[in-house]
Each structure stands twice: as structure tokens, then as C-alpha cells.
Amino acid sequence: MQRGPASPSLPVDHPTAVAFLDETGSISQDRFFSVGCLILPEPSLLLRRIQKIRDIHHWYTEMKWVELTRTSYPLYREVLEEVSRSDARYACFVADRQSADPVARFGDPWLAYEKLAAQLLIGAVRPGEIITVLADNYSTPDNVVFEVDVRRDVNQRLGKLVLASVCRLDSRSSDGLQLVDLLTGAVTFEYRQAAGLAGTKTVKAELAADLRGLYGVKSVVGGARNARLNVATYGHKNSPGPVSPTG
């Protein structure tokens, strides 16, 4: 039997990564709704350091922005320091529903979330990179297939295989999802502060300021970008999505 030409194959060192994806706020109710992703070329390097922090402090509860307290602040701060020192890239898309409501544009909250998530990933991926997405789980109608839709939309928009798989997990099972929850909560908090919806003297305000300092930006409101951080504000016309991070 005569064989046809060999199929092209990727080199063994082709760039790959895992993206942890999470949202904060209610897309249909809260003024600010954000989608964030933390992209790790080699997840074990950071996640093992987080596990070491947990073991040293015997700290095994779920990390959640909404549960930050003065007592847990030093641990959360230590975790953010580890993330900022790692090779992780963080990207976030913030929607202010008062100025540009994605639900009004796309017709329902589930489709709006899918579109924001897909646009975020399109902006965050590096050229040639193939990514596996692990997303926080949440309840949806039976006809909503987030994993299938996001993977298809991203690959079709970019015209090639970029997302290999999209899988949804309970955030309690993944430190990666908990990390992106902290980062996205801290970014969104400054937007809420700027709108007069959050204070400046709370422990959350302190941790949000810590994040900006660790990433070397004065503010994330209106967008911020460097090699490790990429925050963009959603807009119907002038903000199609985050630009790809440099580096």
C-alpha cells in the first residue's frame, strides 16, 4: 500500500501553555463584570510554590477575593508576590455596564460571557502558542456549551489551532483558578473605587494597591499593559479586546 505525504508535525519544544480563566461580578446585575486569565507556560513551576506556601502555613482553605480579611491578608500578599515573580502572564477584560453593556449587545448573559472570554483569550495568546483553558465552573442552561463555543470562536477567529481544549472545573480543586480570582478581584476593585462603589481604607484596597505595585503600574482603570499584565476596558466600538501582551 502506497503511503501519501507525511502530515506536518509540531516540534517537541513547540510553545504551549495553560490558561486559568475566571470571572468576577454578575454580568447581568453588577455594574462591573470582569473576565481574567492567568497564562502559565509551565504551570507546575508556580503551582508548586503556592503549594509550599500552603504547607508552611498549614493553609488549605480556598483563596477567594470576596473572603479576604485582615488576618488572611499576609498570606494573600505572599501569594501575589509569587505570581508576580513567575513567568505567568495575566490578562483581564473589564466591562462597565453603565457605559457599554455586553448583555444588551449580545442578547443574554451566557452568550455575553462567552464572547468576552473568547475575545480575552484572542488578545492574550502569543503567536504560535497552543493553549489549554481551565475555566471556573458555573451553572448554565443545558443548551449553553461554553467550552465548545469558546474553543470554536477563538480558533475560527485566528484561523488556526490555538485552543486545544477548554475544560471547566470547580475552583476549589485548582489553585490556578483561585489565583486568577484574586487577580481579577483586585483589578476590578480599583474600577469600583473610581466609580465611588468601594472605599480606600479597606484591606481589599490595600491588596489591590499591592497588585499594582507588584506589576509596576500606577492604575489599571482605563487599561494597563506591560509584558506581564494586560488590562483592557470593554467597549462596543473602540475596545474590541485586549491587545496581545509584549514579550
Query: Is 70 exceeded by the pLDDT of residue 157?
Result: yes
Query: Is 80 exceeded by the pLDDT of residue 93?
Result: yes
Compute the half-sphere exposure of residue 168: CA atoms within 13 Å on the CB side of its CA: 17
Amino acid identity of residue 191, one-letter, is: Y
Coil, strand, or helix at residue 156?
A: helix
| Segment 95-145, tens digit of pLDDT | 999 999 999 999 899 999 999 999 999 999 999 999 999 999 877 778 889
Helical ranges in 125-174 per DSSP H = 146-158
Distance CA 179, CA 20 (A): 9
Q: Where are the beta strands (DSSP E) in 146-215?
A: 163-169
Residue closest to 148 by CA, chosen among 133, 130, 170, 127: 133
Amino acid identity of residue 179, one-letter, is: L
Distance CA 187, CA 1 (A): 60
Split at pLDDT 50, 70, 90, the class of 241 is very low
C-alpha triplet 219, 93, 45: angle, nearest 5°? 85
Mean pLDDT score, 168-176: 95
Cβ neighbours of 148 (radius 10 Å): 11
Percent of the residues in the chain that have a pLDDT greater than 90, as a whole number: 84
C-beta separation of 52 from 27 below 8 A: no
Query: Is 80 exceeded by the pLDDT of residue 219?
Result: yes
How high is the pLDDT of residue 3? Answer: 59
Query: Is 70 exceeded by the pLDDT of residue 186?
Result: yes
How high is the pLDDT of residue 144? Answer: 85
Query: Is 50 exceeded by the pLDDT of residue 239?
Result: no
Lowest mean pLDDT among 36-50, 200-214, 224-238: 224-238
How high is the pLDDT of residue 8? Answer: 75
- Residue ranges of domains in the chain, CATH in brackets: 16-233 (3.30.420.10)
Q: How confident is the prediction for the chain on average, in pLDDT?
A: 91
